[in-house]
């Protein structure tokens, strides 16, 4: 497991947003926060629907992520981005469930680390 939660947006986010994102990713993935990698890229050049109104492109990646969890994760993320003024209808979430052999860490892969 190695949940990665990456949010790119065209607005400036408050300093505490990344901590909130990390805690949310832990809750949504049902993983310990110590395993979460949260990335926030704010103030990016980003157009959604041809306008520069607040918008976001989000990636949620975790080994073993189940398709049936996508709606619940989407709802949690929608609530988070709404709290900073991004309408959920102006964001896409890209879900990924990579194989443990596809993620490297500590000079090896997650597959080797969990043996």
Question: Do 103 and 2 form a contact (C-beta atoms < 8 A)?
Answer: yes
Can you tell me the distance from the alpha carbon of 66 to that of 6, in angstroms, rounded to the nearest whole number?
18
**Residue spans of the chain under pLDDT 70:** 1
**pLDDT for res 114:** 87
Q: Which residue has the tokens 């805690």?
A: 23
Q: What is the pLDDT of residues 10-21, one digit of tens each?
A: 999 999 999 999
Q: What pTM was computed for the model?
A: 0.92
Return the pLDDT at 58: 98
Return the closest-CA partner of residue 2 out of 70, 64, 62, 60: 62
* Buried/exposed code over 7-28 (b: 16+ C-beta within 10 A; e: otherwise): bbbbbebeeebbebbbebbbeb
Which tokens is 111 given? 């597959």
For residue 1, the model assigns a pLDDT of: 62
pLDDT at residue 39 in the model: 98
For 35-53, write each residue's pLDDT tens digit: 999 999 999 999 999 999 9
Residue 23, pLDDT score: 98
């Amino acid at each position: 497991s190695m949940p990665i939660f990456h949010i790119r947006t065209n607005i400036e986010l408050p300093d505490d947003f990344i901590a909130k994102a990390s805690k949310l990713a832990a809750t949504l993935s049902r993983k310990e926060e110590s395993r979460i990698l949260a990335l926030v890229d704010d103030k990016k050049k980003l157009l959604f629907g041809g306008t520069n109104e607040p918008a976001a492109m989000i990636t949620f990646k975790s080994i073993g992520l189940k398709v049936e969890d996508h709606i619940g994760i989407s709802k949690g993320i929608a609530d988070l981005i709404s709290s900073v003024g991004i309408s959920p209808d102006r964001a896409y979430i890209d879900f990924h469930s990579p194989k443990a052999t596809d993620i490297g860490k500590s000079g090896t892969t997650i597959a080797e680390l969990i043996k």
